[in-house]
Structure formats: C-alpha cells, structure tokens
A and B are shown apart, each in its own frame.
Chain A
C-alpha cells in the first residue's frame, strides 16, 4: 500500500529536550515536505526537499532542522523544542515534474506538545 508514515503519532515533551519525528514514504517520490498545522493559521511549510541531500527552507523554518540522506526518509529535528512549537505536524511527498493526482500525499500527522 502506497503511504507516508510518521512516528511518533503523539508526543509530549519538555522544553529543550531534543526530539526527532520520522517520516518515510514507499512511493519512490523525489519531493518531500514538512508542514505544521495550527488553528486559524492553516498548514504552513517548514522545510522541503527536492531530492536526496537537497533541502530548503519553507515559510516557518526557525527552530527546526531536516536531513535527506535517503530518498524514502525525511526526519524533522527539533534541537531545543519550545512551547510555541506545540502543533500538529504533517509530512508529505510527491513525484517531481507531475501534477494532478500526483499532488502532495500526506502522512497521518504527529501531534506534538511541548511543556
């Protein structure tokens, strides 16, 4: 089954404790992206990657890091989480150079709470 998986699905942590949210896709997509979703603000892009070892900032990259060492994986790293990073996070992937039904395919989400 074609899918994007994220782990963990739920996480409660404390300020300053480094954490990683993993994202993996089995569709051999070149493009992967991270979004956060907040009430009244919608989905905002954090970082994206056009392919292995190619990453770039989205609209709200402060406080986050990413890496793309393998095509299928795109982890999101919070080196020193703060309460304003409490949010619902989504990973997404798509093929590059296509559109329509191959628009971004989203994972199930990770709900993060930073105390």
Chain B
C-alpha cells in the first residue's frame, strides 16, 4: 500500500464549478502538507502549504488537513480553464532529509 493515495482522475468540471481534490495517507509522522500544481511539460509549483491540522485559504484556493483522519483536501472555487493541470499532494515529517512523499497526482480539466 502506498503511503499517500490520490485519485488520478481525470476530473472534468465546467468553468465556475467548485473543485475538491483529496489525498489520504498512512504515515502519522507527516506534519507538513503541500499542494503542487503541474502544468503539462512543466515542473511542479507550490500552490498551498499547511502545517499540521487546520485550514488555509489563498484567494480561490483552500487547503484542509485532518490529521485524525489522515486526509487532506484542496478546494478550488470559481474554477477557471487556467486551473487545468495536474495537482499533486505532498507531505513530509520533520526529519528524513526533508524528503517529500508525493501522491500520484489528479488531472483536472476545467471546460468552457
């Protein structure tokens, strides 16, 4: 079983929809949780970061972490065609050389 599970999609939504992306994990040592966005033929770019449990909002994006359920989410409000990308969740503990453990990514397409 993988340490981090993420539904690969693809997920197709109409413009303006609310998108929910999720990851589950098994390692209780994870403390830092991130979402990266990866456009085709590009490197991942950091979108959201959360430490431990809680919510964080940045514009149209909200990240949630529920450590008791080992479940993290990314919500995108008023989705735009420019949001079409692959979204990767990533997480790490406090040691281990800062190693990030990634989900496999969810491919999102926002249609006009």
Contacts and interface: CB of A to CB of B under 8 A. Distances in A.
Q: Do the two shown chains form a genuine complex with each other? A: yes
Interface of A: 4, 31, 33, 40-45, 48, 50, 56, 58-59, 90, 92, 94, 96, 99-101, 103-109
Contact of B100 (A4, A45, A107, A108): A45
A106 B102 CA distance: 14
B45 interface: yes
Interface of B: 4, 6, 8, 32, 34, 36, 41-46, 49, 51, 88, 90, 97-100, 102-105
A108 B43 contact: yes
Contact of A100 (B49, B99, B102, B104): B49
Closest 4 A-B residue pairs measured CB to CB? A106-B43, A42-B104, A43-B102, A42-B102
A107 B88 contact: no
A103 B34 contact: yes
Given A4-B43, A101-B49, 16 more contacts: A33-B99, A40-B8, A42-B103, A43-B44, A58-B97, A59-B99, A92-B43, A96-B98, A99-B32, A100-B51, A103-B32, A103-B34, A104-B46, A104-B100, A106-B45, A109-B41
Contacts of A105: 46
Contacts of B105: 42
A101 B97 CA distance: 18
